[in-house]
Amino acid sequence: MASSKYFVQRYLPIVLVIGIMIIAIIILVSLARAIFFSGSSNTSTVDTTDVATAALLSTAADRAVQVTVRGPIVANEDFRSYQMTVSPNARTVETFEGYLGNTLQVRTISNNTAAYEQFVFALERADLVKGDAFDDEGNDVRGICASGELYEFRLLKDDETVNLLWTTTCSGSRGSLDASVSQLMTLFERQIPESSDIIDDLDI
């Protein structure tokens, strides 16, 4: 009995101290992971957004902003899509039929840097670059939202895509864009007079 009491008095404090130290180490490790990993993730997101914003707001001659709209997936004869592209030098709307993209109508008019600058700043305020761009696999939109419309918004440099965000009218396929499509589309359509009439002819 005495030896048991002696054991408890001698070793219990040591066991308690060790237990407290283990708990403290676990807490510190958890805090460190939360701080460092969360911080790096936020920094990466901020950096990506900053790069996309800079690309959008650039008014260099090789820059452009483009939206491609695909209608429902139907028979080749009935499939329709259209594309609007705005650069510091030109504004174009083009409509297509079939999956091979045969041109139905195309309208191109000139532009200037001052007008383009106002346009891209309006797009930035409308959150065109808000969203996390997917990788190549995530941007494979073949067959997606078969009954609705697909919207792909691209930032271009020398006709090459430097940023792509997309969304659809299907609730289950929201995509990478986190902005109001109607607001963005209104801005695009107002850049090209009569574009709404050309698009309406598609009857998407």
Residues 6+ apart with CB under 8 A from 83: 66, 67, 68, 69, 92, 93, 94, 96
Domain ranges for the chain, please list them.
Answer: 63-200
One CATH from 3.30.1330, 3.30.1560, 3.40.50, 1.10.60 for 63-200: 3.30.1560
Spatial distance between the Cα atoms of 182 and 197, rounded to a whole number of angstroms: 17
pLDDT, mean of residues 122-131: 95
Compute the mean pLDDT over every residue in the chain, rounded to the nearest whole number.
Answer: 87
pTM of the model: 0.76
Instruction: Render pLDDT for 39-65 as a digit per residue (tens, 0 to 9).
Output: 444 444 456 678 899 999 999 999 999
